[in-house]
Structure 1
Amino acid sequence: MPTIKILPHPEYCPQGATISAAPGTTICEAMLDHDINIEHACDMSCACTTCHVVVREGFRSLNEMEEAEEDLLDRAWGLEPNSRLSCQAILAQQDITVEIPKYSINHAKENH
């Protein structure tokens, strides 16, 4: 099973974390399954950018981006070349490292 190293984030994962998830799982699902409550205002339907992450290692091992994700990412805060929506980024066999950006475009937190 691949591991996801999550870099420290003051709100969602202050100490950072390393979690495991089965191939075929999205990064968002894996984090939520391990009590890392990343924002996902659209319930993982690829309709917002609140679950935006930057993949620091292992980016090429993830599934290819579809057009809807590419279009939405243009609105994400702190966009970088290795940015993905964690609800759309599907794990393969390779370990990855992700960083949750400091901010999102969501003005009101959802209670998920």
Structure 2
Amino acid sequence: MLAPLGGVSVRRMFGGLGLFREGLMFGLVARGAPSLKAAPDERAAFAAEGGAPFSYAWADGRTTVIASCRRAPDRLGDDPEAFAVRARRACAAARGADRAKPARRRRAGDPTG
């Protein structure tokens, strides 16, 4: 389902898989469920479809919540075209979040940094 994006790499993280494109994380797959980066103005739409923020419980009892990464709606699992559209928007959200960082914290290779 990620093939239409091209250039996606996968790394282990949070007990699952981090999804990266152009050096930026745009999603996670953990506990069998995909979560995608969401711009602030998209988070309400995710919530309306049950898209809770991604959370991870550490062995020491702490919990990490990544508010910008939301569980993808179940309907996307049955619709590869809609999933690709949403994944492209997640990539755009990742680029936007990276641009908003101070220049010293931007990813290497970012032309705006």
Query: What is the TM-score normalised by the length of structure 2?
Result: 0.31
Please identify which structure carries the higher helix content: 2
Mark the structure with the bigger radius of gyration: 2
Please identify which structure carries the higher strand content: 2
